[in-house]
Amino acid sequence: MKKILVILLVACVVSCNVDVVKTPQNKVNVLWENQSFHSDTLADSVASMNPDKFVVNLEGPGSTPSKSTGPVYKDLVTFLQRMVDSGYTGKFVCKLETSKGDYEHDWNGKDSLPKIDTISNKKDTWKVYLTYFNRVQNKLPKHLKFSEVMIEPENNYFMKIDTPSVVFPKIKKFIQDTTVSLSATSDWTIGWKNWGVDYYYAQMYDVCYGAYHILCGHNKYDSTRVAELIKGFKQAMDTQKVMKGNNVYFIFTYSPLDTNKKGKIISHAPMFGEIVGKDKEYVWTKKEFLEFNQMFKDSFPNQSNTGIWSVEDAFKNW
Protein backbone atom coordinates (compact mmCIF):
# COMPACT_ATOMS: atom_id res chain seq x y z
CA MET A 1 0.00 0.00 0.00
CA LYS A 2 2.83 2.41 0.88
CA LYS A 3 4.57 1.64 -2.44
CA ILE A 4 1.39 2.39 -4.37
CA LEU A 5 0.95 5.69 -2.51
CA VAL A 6 4.54 6.74 -3.23
CA ILE A 7 4.12 5.91 -6.92
CA LEU A 8 0.93 7.94 -7.10
CA LEU A 9 2.55 10.91 -5.39
CA VAL A 10 5.56 10.81 -7.73
CA ALA A 11 3.27 10.54 -10.74
CA CYS A 12 1.28 13.53 -9.54
CA VAL A 13 4.40 15.66 -9.03
CA VAL A 14 5.77 14.76 -12.47
CA SER A 15 2.49 15.47 -14.22
CA CYS A 16 2.10 18.78 -12.38
CA ASN A 17 5.61 19.83 -13.39
CA VAL A 18 4.94 18.94 -17.01
CA ASP A 19 1.79 21.08 -16.98
CA VAL A 20 3.69 24.07 -15.58
CA VAL A 21 6.32 23.80 -18.30
CA LYS A 22 3.75 23.52 -21.06
CA THR A 23 1.64 26.48 -19.96
CA PRO A 24 3.44 29.87 -20.18
CA GLN A 25 2.87 32.04 -17.14
CA ASN A 26 0.59 34.99 -17.90
CA LYS A 27 3.20 37.55 -16.96
CA VAL A 28 4.21 40.76 -18.70
CA ASN A 29 7.98 40.32 -18.68
CA VAL A 30 9.02 43.92 -19.39
CA LEU A 31 7.50 47.23 -18.32
CA TRP A 32 8.99 50.24 -20.07
CA GLU A 33 8.37 53.90 -19.40
CA ASN A 34 7.94 56.33 -22.27
CA GLN A 35 8.91 59.51 -20.44
CA SER A 36 11.23 59.86 -17.47
CA PHE A 37 8.38 60.38 -15.05
CA HIS A 38 9.62 58.83 -11.83
CA SER A 39 6.92 59.03 -9.18
CA ASP A 40 6.13 56.95 -6.11
CA THR A 41 2.86 55.96 -7.78
CA LEU A 42 4.65 54.60 -10.84
CA ALA A 43 7.20 52.76 -8.67
CA ASP A 44 4.44 51.13 -6.64
CA SER A 45 2.49 50.17 -9.77
CA VAL A 46 5.52 48.54 -11.38
CA ALA A 47 6.31 46.66 -8.17
CA SER A 48 2.74 45.37 -7.99
CA MET A 49 3.22 43.61 -11.35
CA ASN A 50 6.87 42.71 -10.63
CA PRO A 51 8.07 42.16 -14.21
CA ASP A 52 11.42 40.56 -15.00
CA LYS A 53 12.73 43.92 -16.20
CA PHE A 54 11.83 47.58 -15.85
CA VAL A 55 13.22 49.91 -18.53
CA VAL A 56 14.23 53.36 -17.26
CA ASN A 57 14.29 56.17 -19.81
CA LEU A 58 17.49 58.10 -19.02
CA GLU A 59 17.63 61.74 -20.14
CA GLY A 60 20.86 63.70 -20.45
CA PRO A 61 22.27 65.92 -17.68
CA GLY A 62 21.35 69.05 -19.64
CA SER A 63 17.62 68.30 -19.61
CA THR A 64 15.46 70.46 -17.37
CA PRO A 65 14.29 68.42 -14.35
CA SER A 66 10.51 68.11 -14.51
CA LYS A 67 7.78 65.49 -14.61
CA SER A 68 8.27 65.05 -18.35
CA THR A 69 12.03 65.29 -18.78
CA GLY A 70 13.37 63.24 -15.93
CA PRO A 71 15.03 63.44 -12.53
CA VAL A 72 18.44 64.34 -11.31
CA TYR A 73 20.59 61.51 -9.96
CA LYS A 74 19.24 61.61 -6.40
CA ASP A 75 15.67 61.41 -7.74
CA LEU A 76 16.60 58.39 -9.83
CA VAL A 77 17.96 56.64 -6.75
CA THR A 78 14.82 57.52 -4.79
CA PHE A 79 12.62 56.14 -7.57
CA LEU A 80 14.52 52.86 -7.92
CA GLN A 81 14.72 52.38 -4.15
CA ARG A 82 10.99 52.97 -3.79
CA MET A 83 10.36 50.24 -6.34
CA VAL A 84 12.55 47.79 -4.44
CA ASP A 85 10.97 48.71 -1.11
CA SER A 86 7.55 48.07 -2.66
CA GLY A 87 8.50 44.52 -3.59
CA TYR A 88 10.15 44.74 -7.01
CA THR A 89 12.64 41.89 -7.52
CA GLY A 90 13.44 42.26 -11.23
CA LYS A 91 16.27 43.95 -13.09
CA PHE A 92 16.74 47.59 -14.10
CA VAL A 93 17.47 48.39 -17.76
CA CYS A 94 18.78 51.79 -18.85
CA LYS A 95 17.37 53.11 -22.16
CA LEU A 96 19.56 56.02 -23.23
CA GLU A 97 17.68 58.88 -24.93
CA THR A 98 19.88 59.23 -28.02
CA SER A 99 17.57 61.12 -30.40
CA LYS A 100 19.13 63.86 -32.53
CA GLY A 101 16.81 66.55 -31.25
CA ASP A 102 18.10 66.19 -27.68
CA TYR A 103 21.80 65.86 -28.39
CA GLU A 104 22.93 69.50 -28.22
CA HIS A 105 20.57 70.64 -25.45
CA ASP A 106 20.73 67.61 -23.14
CA TRP A 107 24.02 65.85 -23.82
CA ASN A 108 26.86 67.38 -25.80
CA GLY A 109 29.41 68.83 -23.36
CA LYS A 110 26.86 69.04 -20.54
CA ASP A 111 28.01 68.52 -16.95
CA SER A 112 31.62 67.86 -18.06
CA LEU A 113 30.64 65.26 -20.68
CA PRO A 114 32.78 65.09 -23.85
CA LYS A 115 31.95 67.69 -26.50
CA ILE A 116 31.79 66.02 -29.91
CA ASP A 117 30.47 67.94 -32.90
CA THR A 118 27.95 66.46 -35.31
CA ILE A 119 29.61 67.77 -38.47
CA SER A 120 33.09 66.27 -38.67
CA ASN A 121 32.98 63.65 -35.93
CA LYS A 122 29.37 62.50 -35.62
CA LYS A 123 30.32 58.81 -35.70
CA ASP A 124 31.83 59.18 -32.21
CA THR A 125 28.86 60.91 -30.56
CA TRP A 126 27.90 57.64 -28.85
CA LYS A 127 30.79 58.25 -26.46
CA VAL A 128 28.91 61.17 -24.89
CA TYR A 129 25.97 58.94 -23.93
CA LEU A 130 28.07 56.05 -22.69
CA THR A 131 30.33 58.33 -20.65
CA TYR A 132 27.25 59.47 -18.79
CA PHE A 133 25.97 55.92 -18.38
CA ASN A 134 29.33 54.84 -16.90
CA ARG A 135 29.19 57.77 -14.48
CA VAL A 136 25.69 56.92 -13.28
CA GLN A 137 26.34 53.17 -13.13
CA ASN A 138 29.51 53.59 -11.10
CA LYS A 139 27.71 55.83 -8.62
CA LEU A 140 24.55 53.75 -8.09
CA PRO A 141 24.35 51.50 -5.01
CA LYS A 142 25.03 47.87 -5.85
CA HIS A 143 21.44 46.71 -5.42
CA LEU A 144 20.16 49.46 -7.75
CA LYS A 145 22.68 49.15 -10.56
CA PHE A 146 21.53 48.63 -14.14
CA SER A 147 21.95 45.12 -15.49
CA GLU A 148 21.63 46.28 -19.07
CA VAL A 149 21.90 49.35 -21.29
CA MET A 150 19.62 49.70 -24.33
CA ILE A 151 20.12 51.76 -27.49
CA GLU A 152 17.77 52.43 -30.38
CA PRO A 153 19.77 52.61 -33.64
CA GLU A 154 17.42 55.05 -35.41
CA ASN A 155 17.32 58.86 -35.20
CA ASN A 156 20.80 59.42 -33.79
CA TYR A 157 24.05 60.69 -35.25
CA PHE A 158 26.35 57.73 -34.76
CA MET A 159 24.45 54.93 -36.52
CA LYS A 160 24.15 56.80 -39.82
CA ILE A 161 27.90 56.65 -40.28
CA ASP A 162 28.60 53.13 -39.12
CA THR A 163 26.26 50.15 -39.24
CA PRO A 164 25.00 48.68 -35.94
CA SER A 165 27.34 45.69 -36.33
CA VAL A 166 30.28 48.12 -36.21
CA VAL A 167 29.07 50.50 -33.50
CA PHE A 168 27.58 48.11 -30.94
CA PRO A 169 30.83 46.17 -30.34
CA LYS A 170 32.59 49.50 -29.71
CA ILE A 171 29.91 50.49 -27.24
CA LYS A 172 30.08 47.18 -25.41
CA LYS A 173 33.84 47.52 -25.01
CA PHE A 174 33.40 51.09 -23.70
CA ILE A 175 31.05 50.06 -20.88
CA GLN A 176 33.13 49.97 -17.71
CA ASP A 177 30.94 47.58 -15.73
CA THR A 178 31.62 44.22 -17.39
CA THR A 179 28.49 42.70 -15.84
CA VAL A 180 26.25 44.99 -17.91
CA SER A 181 24.55 43.52 -20.97
CA LEU A 182 23.94 45.48 -24.17
CA SER A 183 20.59 45.49 -25.94
CA ALA A 184 18.88 47.14 -28.90
CA THR A 185 15.32 48.00 -29.82
CA SER A 186 13.89 48.62 -33.26
CA ASP A 187 11.52 47.29 -35.90
CA TRP A 188 10.00 43.83 -35.54
CA THR A 189 11.49 42.61 -38.84
CA ILE A 190 15.15 43.59 -38.46
CA GLY A 191 17.91 40.98 -38.53
CA TRP A 192 19.78 41.87 -35.35
CA LYS A 193 21.82 38.72 -34.72
CA ASN A 194 25.10 40.12 -36.09
CA TRP A 195 24.95 43.39 -34.16
CA GLY A 196 26.87 42.14 -31.15
CA VAL A 197 24.07 42.77 -28.63
CA ASP A 198 22.79 40.43 -25.94
CA TYR A 199 19.05 41.18 -26.12
CA TYR A 200 16.62 42.54 -28.67
CA TYR A 201 13.30 44.32 -28.03
CA ALA A 202 11.02 44.04 -31.06
CA GLN A 203 8.56 46.91 -31.34
CA MET A 204 5.26 45.22 -32.11
CA TYR A 205 3.61 48.40 -33.33
CA ASP A 206 3.82 50.22 -36.61
CA VAL A 207 3.18 46.81 -38.18
CA CYS A 208 0.31 47.90 -40.40
CA TYR A 209 1.72 47.03 -43.81
CA GLY A 210 1.90 44.22 -46.36
CA ALA A 211 -0.12 41.16 -45.51
CA TYR A 212 -0.88 42.27 -41.98
CA HIS A 213 -4.02 44.35 -42.63
CA ILE A 214 -5.82 42.78 -39.66
CA LEU A 215 -3.39 44.68 -37.44
CA CYS A 216 -4.30 48.06 -38.99
CA GLY A 217 -6.66 50.76 -37.79
CA HIS A 218 -8.25 51.27 -34.39
CA ASN A 219 -7.73 48.40 -31.99
CA LYS A 220 -10.94 48.15 -30.01
CA TYR A 221 -11.43 45.23 -27.63
CA ASP A 222 -14.39 42.92 -28.10
CA SER A 223 -15.08 39.20 -27.73
CA THR A 224 -13.32 38.34 -31.01
CA ARG A 225 -10.54 40.94 -31.22
CA VAL A 226 -7.89 38.98 -29.31
CA ALA A 227 -8.20 36.02 -31.67
CA GLU A 228 -8.10 38.41 -34.66
CA LEU A 229 -4.85 39.95 -33.41
CA ILE A 230 -3.22 36.56 -32.90
CA LYS A 231 -4.30 35.51 -36.38
CA GLY A 232 -2.84 38.72 -37.78
CA PHE A 233 0.47 38.16 -35.99
CA LYS A 234 0.78 34.46 -36.85
CA GLN A 235 2.23 34.73 -40.35
CA ALA A 236 4.63 37.42 -39.26
CA MET A 237 5.80 35.54 -36.17
CA ASP A 238 6.32 32.35 -38.17
CA THR A 239 8.58 34.11 -40.66
CA GLN A 240 10.74 35.95 -38.11
CA LYS A 241 13.53 33.41 -37.78
CA VAL A 242 15.72 35.70 -35.64
CA MET A 243 12.87 36.68 -33.33
CA LYS A 244 12.84 33.57 -31.20
CA GLY A 245 14.23 32.48 -27.84
CA ASN A 246 14.73 34.04 -24.43
CA ASN A 247 16.88 36.91 -25.73
CA VAL A 248 13.99 38.50 -27.62
CA TYR A 249 11.17 40.56 -26.10
CA PHE A 250 8.00 41.55 -27.94
CA ILE A 251 6.90 45.04 -26.91
CA PHE A 252 3.36 46.38 -27.28
CA THR A 253 2.37 50.00 -26.86
CA TYR A 254 -0.03 51.86 -24.57
CA SER A 255 0.99 55.24 -25.98
CA PRO A 256 -2.19 57.33 -26.22
CA LEU A 257 -1.27 59.74 -29.01
CA ASP A 258 -0.77 58.70 -32.58
CA THR A 259 -3.50 60.07 -34.82
CA ASN A 260 -3.55 62.81 -37.40
CA LYS A 261 -6.18 65.57 -37.56
CA LYS A 262 -8.67 63.32 -39.33
CA GLY A 263 -8.37 60.67 -36.64
CA LYS A 264 -6.67 58.16 -38.91
CA ILE A 265 -3.87 56.16 -37.35
CA ILE A 266 -0.64 56.98 -39.16
CA SER A 267 1.66 54.60 -37.26
CA HIS A 268 1.97 52.43 -34.17
CA ALA A 269 -0.94 50.10 -35.01
CA PRO A 270 -1.98 47.99 -33.24
CA MET A 271 -2.20 50.12 -30.12
CA PHE A 272 -3.71 49.24 -26.74
CA GLY A 273 -4.01 52.73 -25.24
CA GLU A 274 -5.10 54.98 -28.09
CA ILE A 275 -7.13 58.00 -27.02
CA VAL A 276 -9.05 59.94 -29.68
CA GLY A 277 -9.86 63.34 -28.21
CA LYS A 278 -11.33 62.48 -24.84
CA ASP A 279 -12.66 59.15 -26.03
CA LYS A 280 -11.11 56.12 -24.34
CA GLU A 281 -13.10 53.44 -26.17
CA TYR A 282 -9.88 52.03 -27.63
CA VAL A 283 -8.03 51.74 -24.30
CA TRP A 284 -7.74 48.12 -23.15
CA THR A 285 -8.25 47.37 -19.48
CA LYS A 286 -5.69 45.35 -17.57
CA LYS A 287 -7.92 42.27 -17.75
CA GLU A 288 -8.35 42.66 -21.52
CA PHE A 289 -4.63 43.11 -22.15
CA LEU A 290 -3.74 40.12 -19.99
CA GLU A 291 -6.21 38.05 -22.02
CA PHE A 292 -4.26 39.03 -25.14
CA ASN A 293 -0.95 38.49 -23.34
CA GLN A 294 -1.88 34.93 -22.38
CA MET A 295 -3.07 34.02 -25.87
CA PHE A 296 0.11 35.47 -27.37
CA LYS A 297 2.26 33.35 -25.07
CA ASP A 298 0.17 30.23 -25.73
CA SER A 299 0.25 30.77 -29.50
CA PHE A 300 3.97 31.52 -29.78
CA PRO A 301 5.71 29.47 -27.05
CA ASN A 302 9.20 30.12 -28.47
CA GLN A 303 8.46 33.84 -28.66
CA SER A 304 6.69 34.38 -25.37
CA ASN A 305 8.59 37.24 -23.69
CA THR A 306 6.20 40.19 -23.75
CA GLY A 307 6.34 43.79 -22.64
CA ILE A 308 4.56 47.15 -22.55
CA TRP A 309 6.03 50.45 -23.72
CA SER A 310 4.57 53.69 -22.28
CA VAL A 311 3.50 51.69 -19.26
CA GLU A 312 2.72 54.85 -17.29
CA ASP A 313 -0.21 55.35 -19.67
CA ALA A 314 -1.39 51.81 -19.05
CA PHE A 315 -1.43 52.39 -15.28
CA LYS A 316 -3.40 55.61 -15.72
CA ASN A 317 -6.25 53.65 -17.25
CA TRP A 318 -6.13 50.34 -15.35
pLDDT band at 20 (very low <50, low <70, confident <90, very high): very low
Q: What is the pLDDT of residue 258?
A: 54
Global model pTM greater than 0.85: yes
Q: What is the pLDDT of residue 8?
A: 40
Is the predicted pLDDT of residue 17 greater than 80, yes or no?
no
Q: What is the pLDDT of residue 12?
A: 40
Check residues 303 and 308 and name the one with the higher pLDDT.
308
Q: Is the distance from CB of 104 to CB of 70 less than 8 angstroms? A: no
Check residues 264 and 71 and name the one with the higher pLDDT.
71
Give the residue ranges of DSSP H helices in the chain: 2-22, 40-49, 73-85, 100-102, 126-139, 158-161, 164-174, 225-239, 286-299, 311-317
pLDDT band at 116 (very low <50, low <70, confident <90, very high): very high
CA distance linking residue 173 with residue 134, whole number of Å: 12
Q: What is the pLDDT of residue 263?
A: 53
| pLDDT tens figures, 127-138 | 999 999 999 999
Q: Is 269 left (phi over 0), alpha (psi -120 to 50) or beta?
A: beta
Helix-, strand-, coil-residue percentages of the chain, each rounded to 5: 40, 15, 45
Is the predicted pLDDT of residue 259 greater than 70, yes or no?
no
The mean pLDDT value of the chain amounts to 87
| pLDDT tens figures, 147-174 | 999 999 999 999 978 899 999 999 999 9
Q: Is the distance from CB of 103 to CB of 63 less than 8 angstroms? A: no
Collapsing DSSP states into helix, strand and coil, what is residue 38? coil
Domains recognised in the chain with CATH numbers: 28-317 (3.20.20.80)
| pLDDT tens figures, 41-92 | 999 999 999 999 999 999 999 998 877 677 789 999 999 999 999 999 999 9
| pLDDT tens figures, 198-222 | 999 999 987 877 767 778 888 999 9
Q: What is the pLDDT of residue 262?
A: 52
CA geometry: angle at 62 spanning 57 and 68, to 5°? 45
Q: What is the pLDDT of residue 13?
A: 37
